[in-house]
Structure 1
Amino acid sequence: MSETPGWSSPDQPNQPQQPPQPPPGYYAPPPPGAGPTIKPGVIPLRPLAVGEIVDGAITTMRRYPKLIIGAAAVVAAITQIIGLLVQLPFLNDVTALATLDPNAMTDEQIVEQLQSSVTGLLGGTLLGILPVLFGTVFLSGFVTVVVGHAVLGEPVTFAQAWEEFKPRLLPLVGATLLSGVLITVGLVFCLIPGVYLYVLFALVTPALVLERCGVGTAFGRSRTLVNGAWWRTFGVLLLTIVISMVISWIVSLPFGILGAAATGFSADPAAALSIGSLLLSTVGAIIASTITLPFSAAVTVLLYVDRRMRAEGMDIELQRAAGHGGL
């Protein structure tokens, strides 16, 4: 997919440039009858409506279930299990913090217990986040390659997708860490800058993977594509987060009920931190992540494709790559 001319940015050398093709109306797809709709893959090759972006992400997951759902299941299982094993040594600290009774302790004992418990809690949380972070980075990049093929309806194997993505893995890890630092700093100083930066750099992953550019260039590409459409991009990302949260809640609910039933619906905070309850929660998190992580990644890629079709006329390049010669 990386050889497809449509993925190269307009300022890359030795690539044919196309003038922007603004759609009629305000960020609306062409009306019926404006021309034939070419759809070789999961989306029509023209500027997309929000519903078409979401539908395209779901369609991609259905057409490539072994690649996307299979990879997501393996990544989710590995990361969640590692996260659980890493946090187990700190379970006593967390339990002590949850069951702390200030009335039965002196002030010195309370301070000492809080320091010990909070240190263990932070340590377990940070160590548990790391495998999830790297797993999410891998999956988002891998799904990006698959969606790139899905746009043109091309078949792709795991080996092909991995060969295309492998050289981009380390740059993507670096870009993700840098983006995370920038967004976190923005959130610490004020919520609004953090949200603004999150949306502004939302397209870094597809730009870096599909255009095979450097980390700095990927940030610049994301900023360029989002400029002028920040609110629309924010709306699509927010909708994706809401859908993912609802799916996670629906999937996790039965496992939460089973965990509560296993402890006799005890009101004791320590019961919720038992090994059995944590195992059930982990199973629920694995299933939920298997669905939500690739869905979110696919939406981001299709949002990137939509922005390039609107701002750079990439739909013509993709139509040519699909063998339709453009409109």
Structure 2
Amino acid sequence: MSETPGWSSPDQPQNQPPQQQPPQYGQQQYGYNAPPPPPTIKPGVIPLRPLALGEIIDGAITTMRRYPKLIIGAAAVVAAITQIVGLLVQLPFLADLSTALDPSAAPSRDQLLDVFASALGGTLLGIVLQLVGTVFLSGFITVVAGHAVLGRQVTFAQAWEEFKPRLLPLLGATLLYGLLIMAAPVVLGLLGVLANSGWALALGLFVAFLVAVWLWVMFSLVTPALVLERCGVGTAFSRSSKLVSGAWWRTFGILLVAGLIAAVISWIIGLPFELLGRATTGFDADPAALLSAGYLIMITLGSIIASTIALPFSSAVSVLVYVDRRMRSEGMDIELQRAAGHGGS
């Protein structure tokens, strides 16, 4: 954030006064002459010191509550546009897909290929829209969360002005991130197939899963690093790896808990809409019934509401994990205290 000091990485040149030595957290001094612990400074949604899991979760929720128009509003608009456009793209192919899935209709092979090719094109368009919408939302919320940490108010225009130069680099970083995670399963799976052994395939897929999870955690802080430090794509990956190194398991645990919370929220919100969608089909057990317009409309409405809550929560958690890692490994709480007007001491 160009107007907020303290976010630049230690490797970037700064015209700042000499910093205090970063405190070594986790080390205690004992005895009558031990200095008292520093007072907790909390100008925004989190205290400016290393955070516990509960403080990260609470900080993400508090960020959403303090900036509802920016965060919930932006998430609702993005979710509505991506989900509704995706639904409208699929609607023209519902009748053909239902016919293709009906064994009694006995469609020819060419008809099946045409139907599925058309449906695939619509699905890919929906995926692209979902990707762009998610990238925009995660980056935009990162900017808002950066202000929330310092307790500063920000308007949509200000947040957009700060995030706009980061949109294309973030889109490229997201695509690279996805390719890296998918590359390991594909390569190891192909090696298992080439080995022509069920055990080799199973082992390859298991190792691929572990590698994908490792990469997911190691590069989980790319978005806040790229947006807040205003660095390049390669530097953002390097920064994420550096911050997570030495704290992989802790980062994994926090992201896992946050992901489970988001999944439960999505499930609770989506369940009534799933039941309403089933009701529009008369609770028909035929899989083709799930392609009815009524069912898909109900599912889309549920997805819009669930995404409006779950995606901002996950994005805010990632930002606070990034802030926590920088405070722990780089003593950034001193810079943030100075930026918040507390003099860094």
Q: Same fold (TM over 0.5)?
A: yes
* 1:174 corresponds to: 172
* 1:23 corresponds to: 25
* 1:238 corresponds to: 256
Decide which of 40, 47, 50 is 1:47's aligned counterpart: 50
Decide which of 70, 74, 77 is 1:71's aligned counterpart: 74
* 1:248 corresponds to: 266
Please give the alpha-carbon distance, in whole angstroms, between the structure 2 residues aligned to 1:258 and 1:219.
43
Q: Identify the range of structure 1 (305-314 vs 231-240) with the bigger mean alpha-carbon deviation.
A: 231-240
Does the 8 A contact of 1:187 with 1:195 survive in 2? no
Letter in 2 for 1:179: Y
Decide which of 102, 119, 124 is 2:122's aligned counterpart: 124
Please give the alpha-carbon distance, in whole angstroms, between the structure 1 residues aligned to 2:63 and 2:237.
26
C-alpha displacement of 1:90: 3.2
For the structure 1 residues 281 and 74, does the alpha-carbon distance in structure 2 shift closer, same or farther, using more than 3 Å as the test? same
C-alpha displacement of 1:241: 1.3
Q: RMSD between aligned alpha carbons?
A: 2.0
- The structure having more radius of gyration, on CA atoms, is 2
C-alpha displacement of 1:151: 0.2
- Per-residue CA deviation, residues 118-142 of structure 1 (Å, 9 max, x unaligned), is 4344333222111111000000000
C-alpha displacement of 1:227: 0.7
Letter in 2 for 1:266: D
Please give the alpha-carbon distance, in whole angstroms, between the structure 1 residues aligned to 2:185 and 2:21.
37
Does the 8 A contact of 1:94 with 1:120 survive in 2? no
Does the 8 A contact of 1:87 with 1:127 survive in 2? no
Does the 8 A contact of 1:143 with 1:298 survive in 2? yes
- Normalization by structure 1: what TM-score? 0.91
Decide which of 314, 322, 325 is 2:340's aligned counterpart: 322
The number of equivalent residue pairs is 316
Please give the alpha-carbon distance, in whole angstroms, between the structure 2 residues aligned to 1:100 and 1:21.
69
Please give the alpha-carbon distance, in whole angstroms, between the structure 2 residues aligned to 1:93 and 1:178.
35
Please give the alpha-carbon distance, in whole angstroms, between the structure 1 residues aligned to 2:326 and 2:26.
16
* 1:56 corresponds to: 59
Please give the alpha-carbon distance, in whole angstroms, between the structure 1 residues aligned to 2:90 and 2:161.
34
C-alpha displacement of 1:113: 6.0
Please give the alpha-carbon distance, in whole angstroms, between the structure 1 residues aligned to 2:262 and 2:274.
18
Please give the alpha-carbon distance, in whole angstroms, between the structure 1 residues aligned to 2:114 and 2:318.
41
What residue ranges of structure 1 are gaps of 5+ in the alignment?
27-32
Please give the alpha-carbon distance, in whole angstroms, between the structure 1 residues aligned to 2:222 and 2:8.
14
- Per-residue CA deviation, residues 287-325 of structure 1 (Å, 9 max, x unaligned), is 000000111100000000000000100000001111111
Please give the alpha-carbon distance, in whole angstroms, between the structure 1 residues aligned to 2:217 and 2:278.
38
Does residue 6 of the first structure (1) align with residue 6 of the second (2)?
Answer: yes
- Per-residue CA deviation, residues 246-268 of structure 1 (Å, 9 max, x unaligned), is 11110011111111112211122
SS state at 1:37 partner: coil
What residue ranges of structure 2 are gaps of 5+ in the alignment?
29-35, 189-207
* 1:156 corresponds to: 154
Deviating 4+ runs (over 3 angstroms):
15-20, 96-101, 109-122
* 1:30 corresponds to: none
- Per-residue CA deviation, residues 124-182 of structure 1 (Å, 9 max, x unaligned), is 32221111110000000000000000001001000110110011111111111111111
Letter in 2 for 1:22: Q
Please give the alpha-carbon distance, in whole angstroms, between the structure 2 residues aligned to 1:162 and 1:294.
16
- Normalization by structure 2: what TM-score? 0.86
* 1:259 corresponds to: 277
Does the 8 A contact of 1:82 with 1:128 survive in 2? yes
* 2:229 corresponds to: 211
